Amino acid sequence: MKITKVETFIVDAGWRPWTFVKVETDEEITGWGECSDGRTPRGVVGTIEDFKPLLIGSDPRAFEMRFWDMNRASRQSPGGIASKAIAGVELALIDIKAKALGVSVVELFGGPTRDNVRVYWSHCGTSRIRNHELIGVPPISSMNSVSELGKEVVERGFTALKTNILMPGEDAYVHSPGFADGQGSTDQIVSTELLSHIEELIGTFRDAVGPNVDINLDLNFNFKPEASMRIAKVLEQFNMLWLEIDMYDPQAILQIKQSTSTRICTGENLYYMREYLPYFQLHAADIFMIDVPWNGFSQSKKVGDLAEVFQLNAAPHNYYSHMSSFMSASLCAVLPNVRIMEIDIDDVPWKDDLTTATPDIVDGYMTVPTAPGWGADVNEEVALAHPWTR
């Protein structure tokens, strides 16, 4: 079997792009990968273009060899855009091999450790503040709106949610000065007023969902350790599933973890075992996120297995299309140490049309895919109907 064509699609997903890789073969088996990057999609696609001479004419089933071909070609650009490009291709190659064998990716990697995986409603309130009209839901205009959303989470069968620092109101926004929008800095000291607001926000969610539904708060890259520690202390009363913090310093994450009883999650921006290892060796956090569309499947499994060696739990970072959800659920199925899986519920109206299958979620659990490959393909007509042009 030989690769005959590699094609990329950048799809308009409303407020961010989704990026897909299509790999065709001379035996008419097609594989799909996803490597969505909301900030530099053209950089990822351009790198895949650079990889094409290494791929065309090669055997797609030797996905580990192809990984190292691409890795050597981008060795001076480790992580980031290059790794995402490699991941998109590798995921498509694994899809091809599994389809050629007539098995799911889960079976290809040893069979399932579980039949379903618990999921949490991610960006709960965040997406509504920014895009409620596009999603077709009410705005987050007050803390009462937050309470109603929390009740909706429970009514729809979810047992966990993740939110950001929501600022409800007529001009509602998400507090994200050092990561998401506009001017800002992560050098700020969190104010008493902001601490009180965070306490009210999470308290409102807690009152709405009750004591048995887990709550996560994602701080992204918005705060330094001092501010993060103050926030973590305020949140101790709410028995959070985790406080999520991104920092490229394992000692800084460890400092926060050791200062609080609030559980700490990190890792969504890390690549491969070499970047995770210093965090694992320090036991710097309680839960580590792994991004399959950025690491690829084989490397994600290696990271997850390494986490198990250090007695740490993993949780897929999954802020993308249904293809990513199938890929992430497949990872959860082949690891023993999965805590929970992220999934977005509020999304663009055409999300379900973009793939040939949609996740089966019942009572807050997603069924592990069992069909050949990932269990779904990209609907190319829908992808082409929603090009990313920004």
| pLDDT category of residue 377 using cuts at 50, 70 and 90 | very high
The pLDDT confidence band at residue 283, using thresholds 50, 70 and 90, is very high
The predicted structure's pLDDT at residue 178: 81
Q: Would you list the domain boundaries of the chain?
A: 3-102, 108-371
Mean pLDDT over residues 124-153, rounded?
97
Instruction: Provide the token pair at 353.
Output: 């049309």
Whether 119 shows a pLDDT value over 80: the answer reads yes
Residue 170 phi/psi, 5° resolution? -60, -40
- pLDDT class of 7 with cuts at 50, 70, 90: very high
Please state, in angstroms and as integers, the Cα–Cα distance from residue 265 to each residue in 256, 262, 295, 340, following that order: 11, 10, 18, 12
Q: What is the CATH number of domain 3-102?
A: 3.30.390.10
Average pLDDT over residues 211-217: 98
> Region 195-216: what's the mean pLDDT?
98
Q: Which fold has domain 108-371?
A: TIM Barrel (3.20.20)
The token pair that represents 270 in the structure block: 């890390």
For residue 182, what pLDDT is reported? 59
The model's pTM is 0.97
Do the beta carbons of residue 231 and residue 194 sit within 8 Å?
Answer: no
Q: Is the pLDDT of residue 90 over 90?
A: yes
Q: Pairing relation of β-strands 31-34 and 242-244?
A: unpaired
Q: Count Cα atoms within 13 angstroms, Cβ side, for 90.
A: 26
Contact between 383 and 9 under an 8 Å Cβ cutoff? The reply is yes
The pLDDT assigned to 205 comes to 99
Indicate the range of 186-195, 198-207, 282-291 predicted with least confidence.
186-195
Give per-residue pLDDT as tens, 176-190: 988 765 566 766 779
pLDDT, one tens digit per residue, over 243-263 is 999 999 999 999 999 999 999
Question: If you average pLDDT over residues 262-288, what whole number do you get?
Answer: 98
Task: Give 76's contacts (C-beta < 8 A, 6+ positions apart).
Answer: none
**pLDDT tens for each residue of 53-75:** 999 999 999 999 999 999 999 99
Q: How far apart are CA 295 and CA 301, in angstroms?
A: 9
AA identity, residue 27: E
Contact 368, 332 (CB under 8 A): yes
Burial string for 121-140 (b: 16+ CB within 10 Å, else e) reads bbbbbbbbbbbbeebeeeeb
Q: What are the angstrom distances between the C-alpha of 139 and each of 101, 125, 144, 171?
A: 47, 9, 11, 10
Is 124 a residue whose pLDDT tops 90? Answer: yes
State how beta strands 264-266 and 242-244 pair: parallel
Q: Torsions phi, psi of 377, nearest 5?
A: -120, 165
